[in-house]
């Protein structure tokens, strides 16, 4: 993995895995073993969810035929780099529940599962890159996703390659990004963000 210390420093004591996880665009042409991929999904399995509903559902593409389906609805700028990823994943969340009707926390809970997945992928030596740049209606049609599932994101998963594998327009961005300081996203007692 790229040396993240030159780009990221935690202001408070945390496990280094949080700094090591970032979203590169360069992927090696190297298959992810099924056992490793299943470990990543196993981590997502243990994410918390309201009333233990576990609303997430992942559609996985690991072969050329399935990956090519994904490339039909991913935005062109993302296809330029994610076409090399050995695994593409559509993350969906079930918006309703047999128990309570609407599941108002489906996106929140599925976000937790994605976070667990991303951290376990990092632990296993993989990289992940989540994308919002895709045609959701076309994805729904191509992947036959039912109407009661929201399509949250598409994720590329694989082993990190060097920036020389990317179009030159991506070279400057192929490094870990920094984050806002804690004080910029919390307020006590009342919401005081402008």
Note if the pTM is more than 0.85: yes
Give Cα 70 distance to the centre of its chain: 15
Phi/psi at 90 (5° precision): -100, 125
In angstroms, rounded to a whole number, what is the distance separating the alpha carbons of residues 77 and 129? 14
pLDDT value for 2: 56
Alpha-carbon distance 23 to 125, whole Å?
A: 13
Q: What pLDDT does residue 83 have?
A: 98
Q: What is the pLDDT of residues 99-146, one digit of tens each?
A: 889 999 999 999 999 999 999 999 999 999 999 999 999 999 999 999
Q: In this model, does residue 82 exceed pLDDT 80?
A: yes
Question: What residues have CB less than 8 Å from 40, skipping those under 6 apart?
Answer: 117, 120, 121, 124, 126, 157
Average pLDDT, the chain: 96
What's the whole-number mean pLDDT along residues 185-193?
Answer: 93
Spans of all domains in the chain? 42-162
What is the pLDDT averaged over residues 172-191?
94
Model confidence at 17: pLDDT above 70: yes
CATH architecture of 42-162: 3-Layer(aba) Sandwich (3.40)
Share of the chain above pLDDT 90, in %: 94
Establish how many alpha carbons lie within 13 A of residue 148's alpha carbon, considering only the half-sphere containing its beta carbon: 10
Q: What is the DSSP string of 112-128?
A: HHHHHHHHHHHHTT-EE
* Contacts of range 2-6, beta carbons closer than 8 Å, 24 or more positions apart: 2/160, 2/175, 2/176, 4/176
Mean per-residue pLDDT, 46-73: 98
């Amino acid at each position: 993995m790229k040396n993240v210390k030159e780009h990221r420093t935690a202001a408070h004591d945390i496990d280094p895995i949080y700094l090591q996880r970032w979203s590169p665009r360069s992927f090696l042409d190297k298959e992810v073993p099924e056992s490793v991929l299943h470990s990543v999904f196993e981590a997502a399995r243990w994410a918390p969810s309201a009333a233990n509903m576990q609303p997430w559902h992942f559609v996985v593409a690991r072969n050329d035929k399935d990956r090519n389906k994904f490339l039909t609805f991913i935005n062109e700028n993302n296809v330029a780099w994610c076409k090399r990823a050995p695994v593409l994943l559509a993350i969906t969340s079930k918006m309703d529940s047999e128990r309570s009707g609407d599941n108002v926390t489906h996106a929140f809970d599925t976000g937790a599962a994605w976070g667990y997945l991303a951290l376990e992928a990092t632990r296993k030596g993989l990289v992940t890159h989540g994308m919002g740049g895709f045609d959701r209606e076309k994805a729904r049609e191509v992947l036959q996703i039912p109407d009661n599932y929201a399509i949250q994101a598409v994720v590329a998963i694989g082993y990190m390659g060097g920036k020389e594998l990317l179009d030159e327009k991506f070279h400057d961005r192929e490094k870990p990004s920094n984050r806002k300081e804690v004080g910029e996203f919390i307020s006590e007692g009342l919401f005081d963000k402008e």
